Structure 1
Amino acid sequence: MTPFGFATATRIAFGPGVAAQALAAAPTMGARAFVVTGATPARAAWLVEGLADSGVAALAHACAGEPTVADAEAAVAAARGFGADLVIGVGGGAALDLAKAVAGLAQARDPLDHLEVVGRGLPLAGEPLPLIAVPTTAGTGAEVTANAVLGAPEHGRKVSLRDARLLPKLALVDPDLLIGLPRAVALASGLDAVVQVIEPYLSRMANPLTDALCRDAIPRGFAALPRLLAGEGGSAGARARADMAFTSLCGGLALANAKLGAVHGLAGVIGGRTTLAHGAICGRLAGPVLAATEAALPADHPIAPRCREVRGWIAATLGGDPAQGWETLAAFADAEGLPRIDIAGAEADVAKAAALSSSMKGAPVPLERAALEAALVACRP
């Protein structure tokens, strides 16, 4: 067996109601909490009010959309002005990314010193502030990853602030927080969640531990997503929420330790050029890019049987012929109303820029630029 390592949050708690553990944990980590919320801060009012009752001063800071470097700089300034000694992120992947950026950059002089691709990519100069992560969507798995994704509009890219110390001290994955999730968000984030267990499973850096997580989570996520979108109630709805939340958690664990692939490599570039949500981009790219990935594999490549296995899981849960699994995935995205990607004929530029992405390092084989361009064309409106 090839040696491997595995890193994750200091502690993970999963299950209905576990979000409340933040109120007991916060006073053990700090006295002044900078709380990064999603675009609707009211969804985190229970936390801000509860912290006050626990003796922890709290300042809420809304993350209106997918964060940029400028957003991170503004949030860091606010956290410093408040004297924060603890950061809590409660929201979707964007809010958690901003929370991680604030925790990591609290002692930094210039974010560009630490950003990949557009900066120097240096390790953080000081110890990050302790971080509690509470996801309210099932998608990115950001509660257990060691990077914060930030938009750099002037470069037309999304880039990462990456450091092992960005892993949260506590990750609280509460499926009940998915109740009331808008359908479009559930679709985009849910597709992102399944892609983030597929790509690590097909990664050249996969290991036995990430394989175990992905083998369970891929069929689980595909089976749960249509049920979540249908808005099932009662125990069936609770199971769908739990299965999607678990799939997302497994995706974060897997990608942090086995990397991703061409879907996310392209998504990072496209995200810097459009206003589409990251999950929607990944969900739209998944079918054609994974088909191109499998087509590029030699018949005897060790990842080839895994591609067939994933196509079988798609057929078993979404229907169709296993041989047409990638096409079935693309058709599912269409049928559920996922937006298409309009990058105004910039496919060649996007494919070229994506080659620099960290995610591409996980691809089982390098993809020819022509294959990436063809996959992008298939995503046009």
Structure 2
Amino acid sequence: MPHPGPFSFSCPTDVRFGAGALQSLTEVLPPSARSILLVKGSSNTASGPVRKLLSAAGLEVQPVVCAGEPGVRTVNDAYRSLASRSVDCIVACGGGSVIDTAKALRVALLKGADLTDDDFAVNHGPMGQIPLIVLPTTAGTGSEVTANAVLGAATSNAKVSLRGRGLQADIAIVDPDLMRNAPRRVVLFAGMDAVVQNIESFTSAKATPFTRALSQPAMATTLGALVEILETGDEGAWADLACGSLASGIALANGGLGAVHGIASVVGGAFPAPHGGVCARLLAPVIRANLASSACSPAVRDDIQECIAVICDQFAPTQGDDPLSGLESWLSDQDLPRLADWGVTLGDVEALAGASTTASSSLKNPVKLTPREFADIISQAL
């Protein structure tokens, strides 16, 4: 085994994990905070316990509702709705879209102006003037510990990331109990996003010994927990799924992802396709393409085979010559849509493949795939 080379590692977010961790919310609020900006999803169910705690503490709460995947325009709408209101702290309670909205909204508030696409090119520095506390209600994106926020651009269909230390939450409260009421489809999409993130961060060209130490065991525990929750309703599996998602967030923030997320970012920018669902649909085609590529080195091949073994331990192949067929059969049984169900057509494949080759995550794929190979991946997922 080669000796590790130089690498860096960062997780400046203070993480509180475990069932009941929600109760620490009022303890970690700034002592002088009186006006709280609460960014939440459309439903009041997930954020109910958080609103109850804040209300009991006698705090003024200004809600901002995130109704879908965020973009520059939706963040600017939220920013303008606040007018001259004072904000002492931002609390985000929801899935990845909610947390990314809160991150981007903090940038706009401290900038004192609307966001523009030019902000994607800025390295946003620390923004401690307005503390950000996040409470994820889905186990998937790992956004609670990443230094970026994915938004739809204002002048194109692309999904792009705001990046920098200023996008990092100050405190993340990861309480599995907050995740139990998510709709089944949300659990599937978000959970598969976490599974893919662990697999891709393990095999990423930028992976480090630390990121691989996090993602390697999490591949199996995250996938197993997701299956248990969806098939048996195992309450104890929520902690495993939440922990696996958290591990994937730290790993991807420090080691990158791969072609699944590269393609998903392009597809999600052009079509109304949920990120986690797209990632789930692309996982098997990307693994096959990486393994079949002439650019796949022996070391990368071993890593990919390790990922395939994890999948096969959970899903026995349904077609003898395809070890990933069991996973794809299970996803079909879960009614996972195909890309065509979200509007992608054969005529879109070439343009999507071309854009995917230069996507940030694609550049960290363990194998350098050609535009033709990207096109074949997308075609398989149609």
TM over 0.5: yes
Change (3 A) 1:327 1:152: farther
Contact 1:29–1:86 (CA<8 Å) still a contact in 2?
no
* 1:159 maps to amino acid: V
Distance in 2, matches of 1:126 and 1:134, equals 20
Change (3 A) 1:76 1:301: farther
* 2:364 maps to amino acid: G
Q: Partner residue of 2:380?
A: 378
- 1:111 counterpart = 2:108: no
Residue of 2, 5, 8 corresponding to 1:5:
8
Q: Which runs of 5+ in 1 are unaligned?
A: none
- 1:52 counterpart = 2:41: no
Q: Partner residue of 2:127?
A: 127
Distance in 2, matches of 1:84 and 1:28, equals 14
Contact 1:114–1:161 (CA<8 Å) still a contact in 2?
no
Distance in 1, matches of 2:291 and 2:36, equals 46
The CA deviation at 1:48 is: 2.4
- Secondary structure of the 1:303 match is helix
Contact 1:354–1:360 (CA<8 Å) still a contact in 2?
yes
Distance in 2, matches of 1:153 and 1:334, equals 35
Contact 1:115–1:159 (CA<8 Å) still a contact in 2?
no
Q: How does 1:142-291 map to 2 (within 5 A)?
A: 142-152=143-153, 154-232=155-233, 237-291=234-288
- 1:338 counterpart = 2:340: no
Contact 2:46–2:178 (CA<8 Å) still a contact in 1?
no
Distance in 1, matches of 2:232 and 2:109, equals 40
1:23-66, CA deviations, whole angstroms, 9 ceiling, x for partnerless residues?
22124373321111012134313322322332432111111111
Distance in 2, matches of 1:254 and 1:174, equals 19
Q: Partner residue of 1:350?
A: 352
Change (3 A) 1:320 1:153: farther
Change (3 A) 1:325 1:165: farther
Change (3 A) 1:231 1:137: farther
The CA deviation at 1:126 is: 7.2
Change (3 A) 1:217 1:114: farther
- Secondary structure of the 1:302 match is helix
Quote the sequence identity (%). 34
Change (3 A) 1:316 1:169: same
> Which shows bigger deviation, 301-310 or 291-300?
291-300
1:123-166, CA deviations, whole angstroms, 9 ceiling, x for partnerless residues?
23773521111000111011000111111364121111111232
- 1:34 counterpart = 2:21: no
Change (3 A) 1:362 1:51: same
Change (3 A) 1:223 1:49: closer
Change (3 A) 1:206 1:92: same
Change (3 A) 1:80 1:365: farther
Change (3 A) 1:297 1:23: farther
1:191-218, CA deviations, whole angstroms, 9 ceiling, x for partnerless residues?
1110000001110111111111111100
* 2:308 maps to amino acid: R
> Which shows bigger deviation, 252-261 or 157-166?
157-166
* 2:81 maps to amino acid: A
- Secondary structure of the 2:93 match is strand
The CA deviation at 1:307 is: 0.4
Distance in 2, matches of 1:164 and 1:131, equals 12
Distance in 2, matches of 1:12 and 1:114, equals 31
The CA deviation at 1:325 is: 3.4
Change (3 A) 1:299 1:281: closer
Distance in 2, matches of 1:188 and 1:150, equals 18
Change (3 A) 1:45 1:29: farther
Q: Partner residue of 2:293?
A: 296
Distance in 2, matches of 1:249 and 1:163, equals 19
Contact 1:91–1:134 (CA<8 Å) still a contact in 2?
yes
Change (3 A) 1:133 1:287: same
Distance in 2, matches of 1:28 and 1:202, equals 43
The CA deviation at 1:275 is: 1.5
The CA deviation at 1:70 is: 0.6
Residue of 308, 314, 320 corresponding to 2:305:
308
Contact 1:191–1:279 (CA<8 Å) still a contact in 2?
yes
Distance in 2, matches of 1:356 and 1:72, equals 26
User: What TM-score comes out, normalization by structure 1 length?
Assistant: 0.92
Distance in 2, matches of 1:201 and 1:73, equals 36
User: What TM-score comes out, normalization by structure 2 length?
Assistant: 0.92
> Which shows bigger deviation, 313-322 or 269-278?
313-322
Q: Which runs of 5+ in 2 are unaligned?
A: none
